[in-house]
């Protein structure tokens, strides 16, 4: 395993298996080892990117804007080791679960908003965030990332999980990924890409920095 994990993220033996883990209150009944909670890469694209040893540049204590927070499965882990973490979710039902996950995490700030309309939360999210993490299952995933690039610091990073089937279920995922990358390059330099199929079928992980 790579030792290039953020501070506050470790591989721990939990239930007899070495697992990615963060220190925090449980959210979805995950296995635990004392104060450490297992981070399941099969339920988290960012967790999969870390397990696949992608160079995310996460070090711990970063300011994070997380798009597509859903019920808080991944963003709760992020808030366990990061600094201020702004979690954008559009759907009211998972947002209620997200609010519950935030109760024990003073650095996690849930926002009921549409990631396709960053102007609706620009008055809340601080500028120059260190990390933009995106897991939004919608058409136009590259467009969302480009429109939210305004929040990133010059040396910040985009950590994007692209779901091919959300873009077009009729096309080959590799063709979808090529189009997403091309559109991204209007706002970002792409540093690394990797298929996440070991954990998430027809997904691509992308690490990029703003131009």
3-state class (DSSP) for residue 198:
coil
CB neighbourhood size of 7 (10 A): 11
Q: Which positions make up the binding site for S-adenosyl-L-methionine?
A: 73-74, 89-90, 114-115, 135-138
Of the candidates 178, 199, 167, the one whose C-alpha atom is nearest the C-alpha of residue 54 is 199
Between CA 139 and CA 31 the distance in angstroms is 34
Length of the chain, please? 211
Helix axes 73-81, 92-102, angle to 10 degrees: 30
Residues belonging to the binding site are 73-74, 89-90, 114-115, 135-138
């Amino acid at each position: 395993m790579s030792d290039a994990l953020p501070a506050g993220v470790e591989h721990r033996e939990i239930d007899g298996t070495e697992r990615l883990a963060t220190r925090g209150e449980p959210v979805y009944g995950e296995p635990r080892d004392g104060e450490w909670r297992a981070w399941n890469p099969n339920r988290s694209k960012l967790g999969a990117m870390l397990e696949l040893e992608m160079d995310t540049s996460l070090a711990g204590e970063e300011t994070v804007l997380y798009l597509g927070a859903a019920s808080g499965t991944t963003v709760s882990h992020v808030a366990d080791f990061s600094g201020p973490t702004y979690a954008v979710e559009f759907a009211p039902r998972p947002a209620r679960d997200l609010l519950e996950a935030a109760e024990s995490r003073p650095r996690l700030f849930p926002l009921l908003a549409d990631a396709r309309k960053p102007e609706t939360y620009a008055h809340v999210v601080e500028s120059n965030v260190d990390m933009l993490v995106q897991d939004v299952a919608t058409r136009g995933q590259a467009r969302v990332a480009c429109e939210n690039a305004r929040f990133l610091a010059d040396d910040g990073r985009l950590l994007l999980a692209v779901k091919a089937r959300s873009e077009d279920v009729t096309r080959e995922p590799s063709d979808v990924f090529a189009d997403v990358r091309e559109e991204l390059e209007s706002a970002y330099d792409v540093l690394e890409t990797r298929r996440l199929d070991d954990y998430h079928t027809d997904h691509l992980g992308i690490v990029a920095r703003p131009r």
